[in-house]
Amino acid sequence: MDAVFKALADASRRELLDRLRAENGQTLGELCERLAKTGIGMSRQAVSKHLAILEEANLVATVKRGREKLHYLNPVPIHEIAERWIGKFERGRLQALVDMKKALEQSDE
């Protein structure tokens, strides 16, 4: 669990997880290209290093397909953290709060 929190304690790595959530199964090249397109400067080497840390923490799973290595967001460790601190009776109420926050913030836009 230490590895998970350490991996998450970095904005660049959270950005990479967001990118995989938006589009799962990207190669290193695709991730770099799309980061650059949206004005986020991260060298290929840095992205590769961050991905290795995320994979080590089991937050990213990889699949080899032909010559490509595809990266997938693996939310299982985060689910386990939620299981540990969020009880099953709290879940419904928390979801209601999150839904309300989303609805209110969207109506502001």
Partner 1 sequence: MIDMARFKPKTVYVIYIAATPEKIWAALTTPEFTTAYFLGAAIEIEPKEGGAFVMRKPDGTIDVSGEVVEWSPPRRLAVTWGVRWLPQMRDVPDCLVSYDIEQAGDSVRLTMTEAHQWDVPDALLSGGRAGWPAILSSLKSLLETGKPLAIKMQPPREMLDALAALKR
- DSSP 3-state helix, strand, coil percentages of the chain (rounded to 5)? 65, 10, 20
Enter the DSSP assignment of 58. T
Nearer to partner 1, 42 or 77 (CB): 77
Q: Is 76 in the site for partner 1 (CB under 8 A)?
A: yes
Q: How many CB atoms lie within 10 A of CB 31?
A: 22
Nearer to partner 1, 40 or 77 (CB): 77
Of the residues 1, 46, 52, 63, which one makes contact with partner 1 according to CB under 8 A: 63
Q: Is 6 in the site for partner 1 (CB under 8 A)?
A: no
CA distance to 7, 76, 77, per residue, from 56 (Å):
9, 13, 12
Stretch that binds partner 1, among 8-16, 39-47, 74-82, 101-109 (CB under 8 A): 74-82
- Cα–Cα distance for residue pair 102/91, rounded to 1 Å: 16
Q: Is 101 in the site for partner 1 (CB under 8 A)?
A: no
Q: Is 4 in the site for partner 1 (CB under 8 A)?
A: no
Any idea what the Cα angle at residue 86 is, between residues 80 and 87, rounded to 5°?
110
Query: Measured from the CB of residue 41, what is the shortest distance to partner 1 in angstroms?
Result: 27
Q: By CB under 8 A, name the binding residues for partner 1.
A: 24-25, 58, 61-63, 65, 70, 72, 74-76, 79-80, 83, 88
